[in-house]
Amino acid sequence: MGNLWFFENVNLFSIFCPNKFKEYKENHQFRKFKKGEFIYFSDDPASNIYLVTEGKVKLLYYTEEGEEVVKSVLSRGEVFGELALLGENTRQDCAQVVTDRTAVCKLTLEEMQQLMKDDVSFALKIFKLIGLRINKLERKIDSLVFKDVRTRIIEFIKEFVIEKGEQNGTEYKADNFLTHKDIANLIGTTRQTVTTLLNELRNEGKIDFSRRSIFVADINNLS
Question: pTM for the whole thing?
Answer: 0.72
Which stretches in the chain have pLDDT values below 50? 1-25
pLDDT number for residue 153: 94
Is-contact 198 156, C-beta < 8 A? Answer: no
The side-by-side arrangement of strands in the sheet containing 207-209 is 166-168, 171-175, 213-216, 207-209
CA angle (9 as vertex; 105, 94 as ends), nearest 5:
30
pLDDT number for residue 29: 61
pLDDT number for residue 28: 52
Is-contact 190 183, C-beta < 8 A? Answer: no
User: What CA–CA distances, in Å, run from 196 to 189, 199, 217?
Assistant: 12, 5, 19
pLDDT number for residue 2: 45
Rounded-to-integer distance, Cα 132 and Cα 209, Å: 29
Cα 82 to the chain's mean position, in Å?
12
